[in-house]
Amino acid sequence: MRTFFLALAVLLLIVFLLIFTGRYLIKRTAELTKAILNLPPLTDDISSIEKEALYRSLEDFTRLWNSTRKTVHFLVGHDEADRIDETLSELRTRYVTHDTAGYMSAREKLLRSISRLAESEAFSFDTIT
């Protein structure tokens, strides 16, 4: 009987950790998504003030992602985190080179990568199977 309760306690601990880490990652991906959506568009006629605001928004997102990256590496895997890192690098390169179409494309790609991460961590029948 004691073994049964010990096994049950271990199972409950594992379930709790899975739910806790899933909810944590979903919360962080919501913050990342909000930060991406707050990135202003890069246009051909952007003023220097708007470009500086865009740069600050991009830096804020980068700091937020850097604070989340280790957790994603540990809990989800290197592929997802590496994909987001590559896309963020592409976004920053497009910003520096003032490639407006490439910037918007990389921004959407980054948004999709973050969304996929949130979907994979959501507790649903699809993620269980």
Per-residue confidence in pLDDT tens, the chain, 129 aa: 899 999 999 999 998 988 888 888 899 999 999 999 988 888 888 888 888 888 999 999 999 999 999 888 888 877 888 999 999 999 999 999 989 899 999 999 999 999 988 888 776 655 555
**CATH 1.20.120 matches 2-128:** yes
What is the C-alpha to C-alpha distance for residues 106 and 111, in angstroms, rounded to an integer?
9
CB 78 within 8 A of CB 86: no
Q: What tokens appear for 1 in the block? A: 């009987």
CB 114 within 8 A of CB 32: yes
What is the C-alpha to C-alpha distance for residues 11 and 44, in angstroms, rounded to an integer?
56
